[in-house]
Amino acid sequence: MEFRTKPLILLLSACSFAILTCIYLFPFSQSSIDGHYQTQQKDSFEAPKSNIWSELSVDEASDVYDFVFDELSHLNLTKHPKSNRDSFINFLETLRPNKTDAVPYLHDDATIPERWAKAAIAQVSDGDPYMVYYMVGPLPVSSETQVLPLEYIFNSGRNYIENPVQDFSSIMRFGLSLAENVSDITQDLLGAVVNTKDPFDPEGLLCWPRGSRIERGGMSMWFQFFRQGAGSGARTILPQGVYIKVDANSNDMDDWSPAQFYYNGVIYDSEAEFRDAWNKPDFRRAAINEDGSWTDTEDFDSKPAGRELPPPVSVQPYGPRYKLDKKQQFVSWFGFEFYITTAQATGLTLFDIRFKGKRVMYELGLQEAMAHYAGDDPMQGGLEFMDSFFGMGKNMFELVPGYDCPAYADFLDSRSYQAMHTYEQPNSICIFEYTADHLLSRHSAQFSITASRNTFLVVRSVSTVGNYDYTIEYIFYLDGTIEVKVRASGFIFGSFFARTNEDEYGHRIQEALSSSMHDHVLNFKADLDVAGPKNDMVRLAWEPLTKSYPWDRPEVEERNTMHIVEYAVDEEIGLDYPKNGGEFYVVLSSEEKNAWGERKGYRIAAGTGMGSPPHLTIVNSTTLGDSARWAEHDIWILQRKDKEPRSADPLNYFTPHDPLIDFTKIANHESLKQDDDSEYDGDLVVYFNLGAHHLPHSGDIPNTLMHTSASSVMFVPHNFADHDASRESVQGVRVQLKGKNSGGFAGEWSTNSDLRSRVARRGDEKKEHKVRYFGATYEEGVKLPLEAFEPDLRKFVSEEIAVTDLTFNGSAAGVWEKKIEG
């Protein structure tokens, strides 16, 4: 393979440096919860088809590892790499089948698609490190199996990126040496020093870099000091006010040297200049950002009225009403059916979603999670994260029963394969049914009240990427609605507060801490197949209208009113949610209609949360380049193609100005018209964004709260059925009201053949049915164990988790700790 080195002009965080060098060292949660309350399904249940998107089995991964080592022996792959100067298999996972191969198997009983693996290999070519994608298959390994460059899914024309950092650990050690050289200054200004013998001394300082520019042969970085925040993982709200810029324009670290210092709004061109200013009596000192009880995420001692009692909880006395095939990870619930799978970069994805036997979506899942900051210091000024790089799936950690999910939930495991290691993530996905505190529907009539419970199904995971915990859930409602929801919690990435700060980028939230404004934009893919693969997208616009109607005249010559105007979306485009909610975005079947002649459809709408989900505020981000153009609009409507399965790739983080997947080449205004002159087959795909414009305030200290950071999009049936599909499945009650004309129900003691009158005969009052339930009710004698209300978490045995640490903008602290300790 020929590699052509190109100049790389990037604004990268140190997170870009860590993962590819050390990802194989991540430890993962290993746990068990013995005997927590879980009602088991009595009847066996099997998926109708195999889960063709499932992650590799342990045996499959082992065979692929052996096969790749043999086939690519010329790369001198090692099983235990020590840096990016070694060649090794970074990770393995399933290469998901193309939709054109999967659909015939799912819907036409064709042969099951071939199974392939995807391998990312860190390899050295001419002394320079690269990350290269390969495809391995078909599986199981046989004489037919091959190792081929995985190229067709990348529109950059290549399947590799050049790794700009060869030895992340040495960079960390360099940062320690920088800090040690100015320990007298940090002791005076910050009240602490780094401990080179124990870099994670709770009383010591950290010194971490943010790569601000990478060019051919070198880079420059800003290092910032942080306090440890070891008690609650609060490092990102403990930044300190000393920054050091390093001139790293040489591959030889011995040539590196500090170039500038920044403190209290002043840049100093050398250490000597900084020292000289520090020694002067008029030197202006900033406050020290110290740890303390204010960073604790819990309060064990407060006793306000009511805390002596436990809160209400949801229980499930009679067991689950959904059916689950755990082996195939297939779910069936009141007309919904779908498969579950995971990927290291993106976490949960659902496939082949059907409702009442009709196709709704082929694929629904996360593509990328981006956070972009702004600020007036060297760290915040270029800060951004692309969390698929760290692994939204790899960082799906164990869920706490009774808290992350109800005690009665079903829990599924996930796994990943990195550098010859298998990492199990037990109980990292939960599935449960829940009844909301508000009704699905209700109505008070003259003689009766009808109330229908709002029960829905949830598939949930939590990805902890450094300082933030992202709860991602897929919610299914009885009427056929599907909601995708994200909630965030955790520590903000704060900025050091100096007297020179203004409120241009945030608020002062502690003695020496300022918040930093930032945008969260999480991109999802929804490959809709509404009643089949041939679909159209329309905008149903609510528009004002002035029109003359014959029944108005002569009193009103013209009436000011409104009407609906349908606009076809006939080319690929990015759309934003309209002002005043004045348009409906609807995906319609091109062929199927309901009983009333209306095309079957699903509407895409902002869901429950903190307003409409946003897109990126920054225009032509200097940091992002072309790596995340999907963040520039709320919704994208595109042609679906096998060669364009994703909007982004984790390795875009390394090459933002020349990404492996350039979304502008996917969203390139191709026609969405279905006509004889077009090769387009009517199979469209929607990419949509969730997230928030986050301006942290004092209420975000110590942690951001989930109900203030929720965002969702809903896919709502629009003429998809002939009537409300929830009516036959919902649980509820009709209560007759007292009155001389009040009576029973249809067909009971009617005064005439009009069964809709619901009026009882005179004299039959004693026979009146005052209440009638639709769906089952609970009976007397229900008994539940204590763990149905409060699982005994003393039985929750879980190993320590090395969460990706973003205190220095995204690098993996767990990796760094291991290397230092080793």
Q: Which residue in 362, 373, 408, 468 is the catalytic one?
A: 468
**252 vs 680: CA distance, rounded Å:** 53
Could you tell me which residues come within 8 angstroms of residue 165 by beta carbon, excluding any fewer than 6 positions away?
16, 17, 20, 21, 84, 171, 211, 219
Task: Look at residue 741 and tell me whether its pLDDT is greater than 90.
Answer: no
Average pLDDT over residues 783-797: 89
Task: Look at residue 20 and tell me whether its pLDDT is greater than 70.
Answer: no
Residue span(s) of the chain under CATH 3.10.450.40 come to 15-162, 168-300
Nearest Cα to 398, choosing from 471, 475, 462, 345?
462
pLDDT at 351: 98
Nearest Cα to 386, choosing from 343, 344, 341, 345?
345
Secondary structure (DSSP) of 680-734: --S-EEEEEEEEEEE---GGGSS-B-GGGS-EEEEEEEES-SSS-TTTTT--EEE
**179 vs 167: CA distance, rounded Å:** 19
Q: Decide yes or no: CATH 1.10.443.10 for domain 168-300.
A: no
- List pLDDT tens digits, range 219-264: 678 899 999 987 788 999 999 999 999 887 766 677 788 889 999 9
Nearest Cα to 522, choosing from 688, 310, 650?
688
Average pLDDT over residues 385-393: 93
Task: Look at residue 810 and tell me whether its pLDDT is greater than 50.
Answer: no
Task: Look at residue 148 and tell me whether its pLDDT is greater than 70.
Answer: yes
Helices (H), 263-333: 271-278
Please report which confidence band the pLDDT of residue 538 belongs to, taking 50, 70 and 90 as the band edges: very high
* 133 included as an active-site residue: no
pLDDT at 281: 95
- Identity of the highest mean pLDDT range in 209-213, 802-806, 814-818: 209-213
Mapping DSSP to helix (H, G, I), strand (E, B) and coil, where does residue 468 land?
strand
- Identity of the highest mean pLDDT range in 120-134, 155-169, 215-229: 120-134
Two structure tokens written together for 64: 């692929």
pTM of the model: 0.91
Helices (H), 545-684: 663-666
Please report which confidence band the pLDDT of residue 740 belongs to, taking 50, 70 and 90 as the band edges: low
**CA torsion through residues 748, 750, 755, 758, sign:** negative
Domain 15-162, CATH among 3.10.450.40, 3.40.50.150, 3.40.50.300, 3.60.21.10: 3.10.450.40
Average pLDDT over residues 427-456: 95
- List pLDDT tens digits, range 581-605: 999 999 999 999 999 999 999 999 9
Average pLDDT over residues 415-431: 93
Task: Look at residue 4 and tell me whether its pLDDT is greater than 80.
Answer: no
pLDDT at 809: 32
CB atoms under 10 Å from CB of 35, counted, come to: 11
Q: What residue type is 293 in one-letter code?
A: S
Two structure tokens written together for 555: 């009193």
Two structure tokens written together for 359: 């196709």
Q: How far apart are the first and last CA of the chain?
A: 35
Mean pLDDT check: name the lowest of 80-89, 402-411, 430-439. 80-89
pLDDT at 738: 78
Strands 518-528 and 358-373: antiparallel
Q: Which residue in 291, 387, 410, 469 is the catalytic one?
A: 387
* 468 included as an active-site residue: yes
pLDDT at 761: 44
